[in-house]
Amino acid sequence: MNGCIFCKIISGEAPAFRVLEDEHCVAFLDIAPANPGHCLVVPRQHASNLWEISEEAYEHVSRTVHRVATLLRVALAPDGINVNNSTGEAAGQEVLHLHSHVVPRWRGDDLRPMWSASRASSHELERLQARLIAVR
């Protein structure tokens, strides 16, 4: 995809600190990390977001995320890991090439959750459940 920075990284046209790659995906360190070791996992085949990638291609992304999380656990010994993917501007997606963030976490690292939630009513959950089941 013309102008896509992640496509340029994949092709070698743009630099990146790669940590893992195979025929389906590339994983590299985020240049603006939330925490040390923050990695991005991108599919080699361009897909703008989760709605555009095939299930099969997304399976490869998920496997690579798991492998990167394991690398981070062994190399950095974090207390936890956050995995995040955003689809669409409303969700905070800035680069229009599907990517998963794999962020090592340590107790007291002061990273904030993406949202604060309140408990939904049973009525609201039943209504949403019915809408979801109706379209599957």
**60 classed as catalytic:** no
Which residue in the list 60, 66, 99, 123 is annotated as catalytic? Answer: 99
Strands of the 100-105 sheet, one edge to the other: 18-21, 25-29, 39-43, 100-105, 80-84
Which residues contact residue 119 at a Cβ distance below 8 angstroms, ignoring those fewer than 6 apart?
none
Distance CA 78, CA 106 (A): 5
Contact by Cβ (8 Å): 102, 39:
yes
Strands 39-43 and 80-84 come out as unpaired
Contact by Cβ (8 Å): 64, 18:
no
Q: Which residues carry out catalysis? A: 99
